[in-house]
């Protein structure tokens, strides 16, 4: 039965024009309370393929995999003071780019 609670996906190979995989699944319940914002990231083709293969292997969406990876990375990211040195250290301001 197809309804608001069911997701149907079909993947088509553009080279051959036939369906590679059709899957029926219940939509996953939301696991977040915070509003989501769409953004675009340019990835090298090889990383894009690795990302989607890793998501497929784990039966999760690439979106969920990226969201968790970015959150984990940011949790482990050192503070700016740690990276730049002691707090209060003067840092040269960045030069503005001149339009060419």
* Three-class HEC string of 38-81: CCCCCCCHHHHHHHHHHHHHHCCCHHHHHHHHHHHHHHHCCCHH
The pLDDT tens digits for 5-33 are 455 566 666 666 665 555 555 555 666 67
77, 78, 80, 82: CA torsion to nearest 10: -170
The structure tokens listed for 13 are: 């190979």
Domain spans of the chain? 6-78
Res 36 pLDDT > 60: yes
Q: What is the pLDDT of residue 3?
A: 46
What's the pTM value of the predicted model, to 2 decimals? 0.52
Q: How far is the C-alpha of 37 from the C-alpha of 59, rounded, in Å?
A: 23
Do 51 and 70 form a contact (C-beta atoms < 8 A)?
no
Residue 10 · residue 22 · CB < 8 Å: yes
């Amino acid at each position: 039965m197809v309804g608001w609670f069911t997701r149907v996906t079909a993947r088509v190979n553009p080279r051959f024009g036939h369906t590679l995989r059709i899957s029926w699944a219940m939509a996953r319940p939301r696991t977040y309370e915070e509003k989501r914002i769409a953004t675009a990231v340019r990835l090298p083709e090889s990383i894009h393929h690795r990302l989607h293969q890793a998501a497929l292997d784990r039966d999760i969406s690439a979106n969920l995999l990226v969201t968790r990876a970015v959150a984990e990375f940011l949790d482990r990211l050192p503070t700016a003071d740690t990276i730049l040195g002691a707090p209060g250290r003067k840092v040269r301001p960045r030069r503005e780019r001149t339009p060419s």
